[in-house]
Structure 1
Amino acid sequence: MTIERVLAPLAAALPGLEALYVDLHRHPELAFAETRTAAELARRLEADGYEVHTGVGRTGVVGVLHNGEGPTVMLRADIDALPVEEKTGLPYASTARGVDAAGNDVPVMHACGHDMHATWLSGAASLLSAARDAWAGTLVVVFQPGEEAAGGAAGMVADGMFDLAGRPDVVFGQHLAPGPAGWVLTRPGVVMAASDTMRITLHGRGGHSSRPETTVDPAVMAASVVLKLQTVVSRGVAATDPAVVTVGSLHVGSVANVIADDAVLEVNTRAFDGAVLLRLREAIERIVNAEAEAAGAPKPPTIELLSSYPVTFNDEQTADRLTDVFRGHFGQERVMPAPLVTGSEDFGEFGSAAGVPSVFWLVGGLDAHEVITAMTEGRFERDIPSNHSPRFAPVLDPTLRAGVETLVVAALSRLSHPGVG
Structure 2
Amino acid sequence: MTTTARGPAPLPLAAGLDALLPELRALYEDLHAHPELSGQETRTAGLVADGLRAGGWEVTERVGGNGVVGVLRGGAGEGPVILLRADMDGLPVLEDTGLPYASAATGTDRDGSTVPVMHACGHDMHVTCLMGAAALLARHRAGWAGTVVAVFQPAEESGDGAAGMLADGFADRFPRPEVCLGQHVAPFPFGMAATRPGAVMAASDTLVVRLFGRGGHGSTPESTVDPVVMAASVVLRLQTIVSREVGAHDAAVVTVGSLHSGSRENIIPDEAELRISVRTTDPVVRGVVLAAIERIVRAEAAASGAPREPGITTTGSFPLLVNDADGAARVTAALAGALGEGQVLTLPRPVTASEDFGRFGDAYEIPSVFWYFGGVDPVVFATEAADAPGAGDIPPGIPRNHSPRFAPVPDETITAGVRAMLAVAASWLVGDGGTD
Which residue does 2:360 correspond to in 1? 350
Which residue is 1:121 aligned to?
130
The CA distance in 1 between the partners of 2:253 and 2:233, in whole Å, is 19
| Count of residues in Structure 1 that have an aligned counterpart in Structure 2 | 421
| 8 Å contact kept, 1:198–1:306 | yes
Question: In the aligned structure 2, how far is the partner of 1:4 from the partner of 1:232?
Answer: 49
**Residue 88 of structure 1 pairs with residue 83 of structure 2:** no
Q: Do residues 405 (structure 1) and 419 (structure 2) align?
A: yes
1:260-279 aligned within 5 A: 260-279=269-288
Look up the match of 1:233: 242
1:383 matches 2:397: yes
Q: 1:280 — aligned with what?
A: 289
Alpha-carbon distance in structure 1 between the residues aligned to 2:21 and 2:305: 64
Instruction: Give distance in 1, aligned partners of 2:20 and 2:316.
Output: 38
One-letter amino acid matched to 1:391: R
Measured in 2, the distance between the counterparts of 1:326 and 1:235 equals 40
Q: CA deviation at 1:2?
A: 11
Segments of 5+ residues of structure 2 without an aligned counterpart are: 1-7
1:253 aligns with 2:267: no
Structural RMSD (CA): 1.7
Partner amino acid, structure 1, of 2:244: R
Q: Which residue of 1 aligns with 2:151?
A: 142
2:32 and 2:116 map into 1 onto residues whose CA distance is: 13
Report what 2:231 is aligned to. 222
SS of equivalent residue, structure 1 residue 344: coil
> Which residues of 2 match residues 72-221 of structure 1 at below 5 A?
72-221=81-230
What residue is the counterpart of 1:48 in the other structure? 55
- What is the percentage of aligned positions where both structures have the same residue? 56
Q: CA deviation at 1:155?
A: 1.2
- The Cα shift of 1:375 comes to 2.4
Q: Is the 8 A contact 2:11 2:423 kept in 1?
A: no
Q: 1:261 to 1:420 in 2, by over 3 A?
A: closer
Paired with 1:355 and 1:307, the residues of 2 have a C-alpha distance of 22
User: Does the 8 A contact of 2:125 with 2:185 survive in 1?
Assistant: yes
Q: Does 1:372 align with 2:386?
A: no
Q: Deviations over 1:356-409 (max 9, x none)?
A: 111000000011111123224426442111000001111113101000011111
Q: CA, structure 1 residues 420+238, in 2 after alignment: closer, same or farther (shift >3 Å)?
A: closer
Task: Provide the rounded CA distance (Å) in 1 between the counterparts of 2:136 and 2:218.
Answer: 67
Could you tell me how far apart the structure 1 residues matched to 2:123 and 2:150 are?
15
Q: Assess if the C-alpha contact under 8 Å between 1:97 and 1:105 holds in 2.
A: yes
* Partner Cα separation in structure 2 for residue 411 and residue 299 of structure 1: 56
CA distance in 2 between counterparts of 1:417 and 1:304 reads 48
What residue in structure 1 maps to residue 3 of structure 2? Answer: none
1:30 aligned partner: 37
Which consecutive unaligned segments of at least 5 residues does structure 1 have?
none
Q: Is the 8 A contact 1:118 1:143 kept in 2?
A: yes
* Cα distance in 2 for residues equivalent to 1:253 and 1:416: 62
Which stretch of structure 1 is more off in the superposition, 187-196 or 72-81? 187-196
How far residue 154 of structure 1 moved from its aligned partner, in angstroms, is 1.2
Q: Distance in 2 between matches of 1:41 and 1:167?
A: 22
Looking at structure 2, the residues matched to 97 and 73 of structure 1 have their Cα atoms a distance apart, in angstroms, of 36
- Measure, in 2, the Cα distance between the counterparts of 1:396 and 1:34: 22
67-76 vs 143-152, which moves further: 67-76
Alignment partner, residue 409 of structure 2: 395
The 8 Å contact of residues 79 and 143 in structure 1, kept in 2 or not, is answered as yes
In 1: Cα distance, 2:302 partner to 2:107 partner? 40
One-letter amino acid of the structure 1 residue matched with residue 422 of structure 2: V
Which residue is equivalent to 1:331?
340
Change over 3 Å in CA distance of 1:325–1:417 after alignment to 2: closer
Deviations 1:270-300 (A, max 9, x none): 1111221121111000100111111111111
**TM-score, length basis structure 2:** 0.94
Aligned partners of 2:249 and 2:237: how far apart in 1?
21
Q: 2:236 & 2:180 partners in 1: Cα distance?
A: 42
* Contact preservation (8 Å) 1:97, 1:106: yes
Query: Where does residue 4 of structure 2 map in the other structure?
Result: none
Q: Name the CA distance, whole Å, in 1 between partners of 2:371 and 2:223.
A: 57
Residue 64 in structure 1 maps to residue 71 in structure 2 = yes
User: Aligned partner of 1:396: which letter?
Assistant: P
8 Å CA contact 2:215–2:267 kept in 1: the answer is yes
Shift of 1:3: 6.0
Aligned partner of 2:11 among 1, 4, 8: 4
Q: Within 2, Cα distance between the matches of 1:352 and 1:148?
A: 19
- Cα distance in 1 for partners of 2:286, 2:36 equals 30
Aligned-pair distance for 1:102?
0.9
Contact preservation (8 Å) 2:217, 2:266: yes
Q: Distance in 1 between matches of 2:49 and 2:321?
A: 27
Partners of 1:365 and 1:395 within 8 A in 2: yes
Q: Does the Cα contact within 8 Å between 1:274 and 1:310 map onto a contact in 2?
A: no
Matched residues in 2 for 1:232 and 1:381: separation? Answer: 28
Q: Distance in 2 between matches of 1:381 and 1:343?
A: 17
Structure 2: distance between partners of 1:234 and 1:87 = 35
Q: Residue 325 of structure 1: CA displacement? A: 2.0
Give the drift of 1:251: 0.6
Corresponding residue SS for 2:410: coil
